[in-house]
Structure 1
Amino acid sequence: MTVLCKICNGAVTPTVPAMKCSSCAIYFHIKCIGIDKAHFDIIKSLNGVSWKCDNCRSLNNTTEAGQCNCCKLLLNLVETINKLSETVNTLQQQLLNFHSDRSNEETIIQEVNERHKRAKNIIIFGIAEKTDVSIDEQIEQDRLFILQIIEQLNLPVQPNELNVHRIGRRNLVNLRPRPIRITLKSESDAHMIVRKFQNLRNIDLYKNISMNYDKTPKQIAYYKSVKQELTDRISRGEANLKIKYINGTPKIVTLN
């Protein structure tokens, strides 16, 4: 059965597109109702878009029926744009989260690697530094002094198993000695020296010398924040508090 256009009575064919009224189901050539091919294709591509002929719209006085095809099209376009905008925002947030997570993972990996690299190091403070000797002579004197400490502690660390150097640039004006970084053969050697050195603190030669592990900048910053928290809590009247390392992490504990 041939479908005819209500206005011109011409046949509706694939090459002569037409709009079908959603109310009376009658067809109208798009050229007869003033819709060009481009707008027709847009309307057809949008799901849920309905169209009513002038006669059906005039018979139905409801707001929905009174909306012209352009109004319906605009409403659907706005809804589609809003959905697309929400999708874009979601994708952008997911992308930001991805980059943030990846950046955090890289930072953690770098920190772990840096801590592992420093695990065999010890930092020594307070060993006198001479200004009237060469750098090589100072290094050798520092090395001999460290070996003397190791011998006093009766530890099985060989001279060829440690590397000694001062941290920072040498300043002939500033008499404050630079700290010394010692790199040992193993992490266990570093822990053993730091722990046992406390036994020498009552000897005059070593009373102004202190040792600590080689910490990363993040570890130092975290310790400072814990120390500040301790100071704040004590100033508020809390007592019997101290910083204690638990599994390698400084924490504030209450003394019994």
Structure 2
Amino acid sequence: MPAFCIICETAVTPSTPSVKCVKCKKNCHLKCCELTPSETAVNSSWTCGKCSVSFGSLNTVVSLSDIEQLFEKQFEKVKTELRSDFSKMIDEKFQLLNNRISVIENNVQNLESEFNRCINSAPKAVASITINDVVCELNDRKERSNNILIFNVPESKESKVEDRVKSDLSFINSILEPLGTFPTAKKIFRLGFPKPNVVRPLKLVFENKEEAKCILRSNKNNPSKINHFHADLTKIQRESNAATIKEFKDRKSKGESNITLNYKDNIAHISTRNVTDHQTKN
């Protein structure tokens, strides 16, 4: 079967000198590949253009040993690049982890500081509080939740208790009537013993805490702040509020401008305001 030139695709004959590709074993006229007989005599490992592109650097490979060396060289290059990429990636991840650990450590330190501040400002040592103390405190709070205290209500000079109570009720009604209709207290009395030039607060006892809350809410709409309505708090609640208010004032005096004092269920709490958000809204 005659051979054909891979370029001009005409038959290769003895009268038309040719050269054979050492890779694909196909023939090519010397004229087509622009070679001379003397060049082919010197270069016996000629490769066609197609094989030169396909094999690239393998054109110089003449043995299995050469292939192994070339493979090892290329593989070593890949390993070096992979090691470099992995090392860079690990360094980046390690840096991110260190940053995260630093943030967590700062948060823990802040929590420890806040915890120690709360412990130091507590009115009682936690270790000294027993289960019985807790139960008694809860029962006391439950009973007091039905009560309210009113201050600065002038005391009657009547000699009879009944007349003094009527006078107190009349004065209280004069305060509440402009604010709306409110439930009537089932019991009313003064706290403490009479003292010269001292106006004792009044305690009003209602059927339930909702009636007491109704009166306390009306105090927000009271145009006169002379007669103040207050929740009937336990000693621990009063001490806790006093400690929180003191802490608030101390922190304010030290330059903390993003804190506010709030009351929830008549208990004082310090809240931190986001200064950035507040400035953005303004």
Kindly indicate whether residue 227 of structure 2 is the aligned counterpart of residue 209 of structure 1: yes
Which residue, out of 113, 116, 130, partners 2:142?
116
- Tell me by how many angstroms 1:133 deviates: 4.9
Secondary structure class of the residue paired with 1:126: coil
Identity of aligned residues (%): 25
Q: Where in structure 2 are the equivalents of 1:74-85 lying within 5 Å? A: none
Distance in 2 of aligned mates of 1:245 and 1:166: 26
Q: Where in structure 2 are the equivalents of 1:83-232 lying within 5 Å? A: 104-131=130-157, 133-158=159-184, 161-171=185-195, 173=196, 175-200=197-222, 202=223, 206-232=224-250
Letter in 2 for 1:122: I
Letter in 1 for 2:131: E
- Checking the alignment, whether the CA contact within 8 Å between 1:123 and 1:181 is kept in structure 2 is yes
Deviations 1:83-105 (A, max 9, x none): xxxxxxxxxxxxxxxxx999621
Number of equivalenced pairs: 149
Secondary structure class of the residue paired with 2:203: strand
Distance in 1 of aligned mates of 2:192 and 2:128: 34
Letter in 2 for 1:224: A
Deviations 1:30-67 (A, max 9, x none): xxxxxxxxxxxxxxxxxxxxxxxxxxxxxxxxxxxxxx
- Tell me by how many angstroms 1:208 deviates: 1.1
Distance in 2 of aligned mates of 1:142 and 1:166: 9
- Checking the alignment, whether the CA contact within 8 Å between 2:153 and 2:201 is kept in structure 1 is yes
Secondary structure class of the residue paired with 2:166: helix
Letter in 1 for 2:234: T
After TM superposition, the score normalised by the length of structure 2 is 0.48
Q: Which has the larger radius of gyration?
A: 2
Could you say which residue in structure 1 is the equivalent of 2:254? 236
Gaps of 5+ in 1: 1-99
Label 1:118 to 1:147 Cα distance change in 2 as closer, same or farther (>3 A).
same
Secondary structure class of the residue paired with 1:168: coil
Gaps of 5+ in 2: 1-125
- Tell me by how many angstroms 1:121 deviates: 0.3
Secondary structure class of the residue paired with 1:112: helix
Letter in 1 for 2:236: K
- Checking the alignment, whether the CA contact within 8 Å between 1:130 and 1:138 is kept in structure 2 is yes
- Checking the alignment, whether the CA contact within 8 Å between 1:150 and 1:157 is kept in structure 2 is no
Which residue, out of 269, 273, 276, partners 1:251?
269
Label 1:187 to 1:247 Cα distance change in 2 as closer, same or farther (>3 A).
closer
Deviations 1:176-229 (A, max 9, x none): 3111100011101111111112212x2xxx431111100000001101110110
Distance in 2 of aligned mates of 1:210 and 1:247: 17
Letter in 2 for 1:163: K
